[in-house]
């Protein structure tokens, strides 16, 4: 999940500038995505998640392990492993963007909290993209027990990193 976890915090650190929706509104008169979804955040976030995945692929290729735990394999060969890593990283931010679209339709302003959805949007996006990219890899790696573990651990991890982001001033809200 590391390539899917990193894009959000790095989008918060490096994001800003031109919003993806270009400031445009939807037919309901509200913003399509809002100022919290920017091109810079999207690209820098995906890049950081992808880079982390590349490092993991490399560590796995040199049989690196930490306290007896091996690095995960993202695929049988480099090409499929890189695609899976890219799907995890880009899926995370597309899931986040999809959520913002629906938050705006619900009349929620940028940054307004939507409990659990805010914490799991990127997990859902990463899983959908990864499943579509490599269904075989997905089903053999995301077993039911791993899925349940991720669904329980992610909101806790997300909340912790967001509180840190709020304290260091890259997030406007602690969620
Ligand atoms: N960010 C960005 N581009 C993205 C995603 C995030 O620039 N594609 C940056 C924005 O500065 C954003 C911050 O990361 O404010 C935190 O992201 P998030 O919590 O997802 O955005 P919110 O501002 O809460 O907006 P929303 O209500 O749409 O979720
Ligand atoms: Mg938010």
Q: What is the pLDDT of residues 99-116, one digit of tens each?
A: 999 999 999 999 999 999
Decide: 19 and 35 in contact? Cβ < 8 Å: yes
Looking at residue 102, what is its pLDDT? 97
172 confidence band (pLDDT: 50, 70, 90): confident
Q: Is residue 161 exposed (0-12), middle (13-18) or buried (19+ Cβ within 10 Å)?
A: middle
How far is 49 from 58, CA to CA, in rounded Å? 14
Beta-bridged to residue 66, according to DSSP, are 69
Angle, CA of 34, 132 and 20, to the nearest 5° = 15
Of 92, 109, 100, the C-alpha closest to 52 is 92
Q: To which H or E segment does residue 70 belong?
A: strand 69-70
DSSP codes, 17-54? SSBTTTT-B-TTSSBSS-TT-BHHHHHHHHHHHHHHHH
Q: Which two tokens stand for residue 120?
A: 């799991």
How far is 84 from 118, CA to CA, in rounded Å? 23
48 confidence band (pLDDT: 50, 70, 90): very high
- What pTM was estimated for this model as a whole? 0.94
Ligand 1: distance of its center to the CA of 77 in Å? 34
With the most atoms of ligand 1 within 8 angstroms of its CB, the residue from 4, 9, 12 to mutate is 12
> Which of 9-18, 29-38, 146-155, 163-172 is predicted least confidently?
163-172
CB-defined site of ligand 1, < 6 Å: 11-12, 15-16, 34, 36-38, 41-42, 93, 96, 100, 103, 110-112, 171
pLDDT higher at 123 or 63:
123
Residue whose tokens read 């890189």: 82
Which residue lies with its CA nearest to atom 19 of ligand 1?
111
Q: Which two tokens stand for residue 34?
A: 């809002």
């Amino acid at each position: 999940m590391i390539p899917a976890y990193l894009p959000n915090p790095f989008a918060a650190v490096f994001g800003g500038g031109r919003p993806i929706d270009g400031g445009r509104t939807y037919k309901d008169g509200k913003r399509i995505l809002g100022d919290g979804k920017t091109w810079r955040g999207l690209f820098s976030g995906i890049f950081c998640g992808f880079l982390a995945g590349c490092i993991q692929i490399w560590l796995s290729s040199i049989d690196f392990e930490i306290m007896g735990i091996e690095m995960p394999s993202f695929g049988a060969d480099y090409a499929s492993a890189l695609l899976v890593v890219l799907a995890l990283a880009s899926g995370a931010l597309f899931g986040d963007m999809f959520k913002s679209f629906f938050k705006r339709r619900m009349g929620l302003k940028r940054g307004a909290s939507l409990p659990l959805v805010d914490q799991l949007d990127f997990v859902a996006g990463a899983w959908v993209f990864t499943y579509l990219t490599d269904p075989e890899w997905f089903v053999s790696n995301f077993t039911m027990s791993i899925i349940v573990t991720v669904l329980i651990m992610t909101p806790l991890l997300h909340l912790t990193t967001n509180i840190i982001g709020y304290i260091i001033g890259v997030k406007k809200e602690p969620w």
